[in-house]
Amino acid sequence: MSLFVTGMLIISLAAAAMPSSAVETTLSGPDEVDRDDRMSVTATVDLEDGERIPIETYEFTLSPSGTDESLTVTFAPNGTVTDVTPDQGTVNHGDIRITQFVESLTITPVRTNASYGYGSRTGYDESTGETRAYGYGYGYGYGYGEQPEFEYEISFNATALDRDTFVGQLDIHTGDETAFASEEFQFEVTHPSDANDEADDADEGDDRGAGNGNDRGADEGEERGADKGDESPGNSQAPWNRQLTNRATSADAFSSGSPAENVEPLGIGFEGSITR
């Protein structure tokens, strides 16, 4: 009997020691995006009652799948971007074009209802399975309702990406360390326009082959007899004239092209900018 009581006591103590809540960070969005469209992902931070942690900045990391290189965007709790690393060039030999990515990037706060105050600062980190303690001080804690305390929409042009699969992740920088990492979020960049162009090229090639094979003999025979009988300057167009006509047509097509796509300014809900 005493062994049973002892066993139950041990189980009860172990259950009491296990955290009933955790700081939960998530990153979610569509599984795929057309390279001609914008990609939007949702980042959230959920704090439970009794938790309070310091949040200095967030780190949104984007990596080409299967590589060790990545682009890191650091932004404040109010959504303002404070740093981008690396800040120029490309990631993994052109998989991410940094300038194009940054110029199209927007981070919009959707919800910020966390409480902010002074007290004991602790939070359970699900990514490592440990409780992190930061002593007494100011920090963010449980807000109200069932919604996450923080929610952001991170959006950028997919044209800045040049690989099929990418992996994103969200972390919290507390001032002393980077912790509370979200699970990795993976998405694919599709190229439907390229596939359509290839199909169109194949169809055009088939049409040319069929047309040349069936029509060339009959057409050439009829045209030779007719042209030799009554050739006149107005019946045909000289090759050099055809070239000029083609060039004029090309120039007209170029001049009537659509303007470049508008690029959104770097702003996070209130005209933010990268600060050093």
* Angstrom distance (rounded) from CA 16 to CA 50: 15
**Structural tokens at position 3:** 């062994």
Least confident range of 67-76, 105-114, 148-157, 209-218: 209-218
Asked whether residue 242 is assigned to any structural domain, the reply reads no
The pLDDT, as a whole number, for residue 198 is 54
Asked whether residue 272 is assigned to any structural domain, the reply reads no
Is residue 262 over pLDDT 60?
Answer: no
Asked whether residue 141 is assigned to any structural domain, the reply reads yes
**Structural tokens at position 148:** 């996450």
Asked whether residue 226 is assigned to any structural domain, the reply reads no
Residues 227-244: pLDDT tens digits? Answer: 444 444 444 443 323 333
Average pLDDT of the chain to the nearest whole number? 76
Is residue 53 over pLDDT 60?
Answer: yes
Q: pLDDT class for 196, splitting at 50, 70, 90?
A: low
Asked whether residue 261 is assigned to any structural domain, the reply reads no
Structural domain containing residue 182: 18-192
CATH of the domain at 127: 2.60.40.10
Cis? peptide before 265, omega within 30° of 0: no
**Structural tokens at position 253:** 């097509």
Least confident range of 74-83, 129-138, 221-230: 221-230
Q: How many domains is the chain built from?
A: 1
pTM of the complete model: 0.65
Least confident range of 4-13, 47-56, 86-95: 4-13
Which is it for strands 130-141 and 52-53: parallel, antiparallel or unpaired? antiparallel
Do the beta carbons of residue 142 and residue 115 sit within 8 Å?
yes
The pLDDT, as a whole number, for residue 120 is 95
Which is it for strands 32-34 and 185-190: parallel, antiparallel or unpaired? parallel
Asked whether residue 142 is assigned to any structural domain, the reply reads yes
Tally Cβ neighbours within 10 Å of residue 142: 16
Q: Which residue, among 270, 67, 61, has the nearest Cα to 169 in the 3D structure?
A: 61
Asked whether residue 204 is assigned to any structural domain, the reply reads no
* Angstrom distance (rounded) from CA 91 to CA 163: 11
Asked whether residue 46 is assigned to any structural domain, the reply reads yes
The pLDDT, as a whole number, for residue 9 is 42
Is residue 71 over pLDDT 60?
Answer: yes
The percent helix, strand, coil of the chain (3-state, each to 5) is 30, 35, 35
Do the beta carbons of residue 154 and residue 38 sit within 8 Å?
no
Is residue 97 over pLDDT 70?
Answer: yes
The pLDDT, as a whole number, for residue 165 is 96
pLDDT top residue among 203 and 159: 159
Q: What is the mean pLDDT of residues 73-78?
A: 97
Q: What is the mean pLDDT of residues 250-256?
A: 36
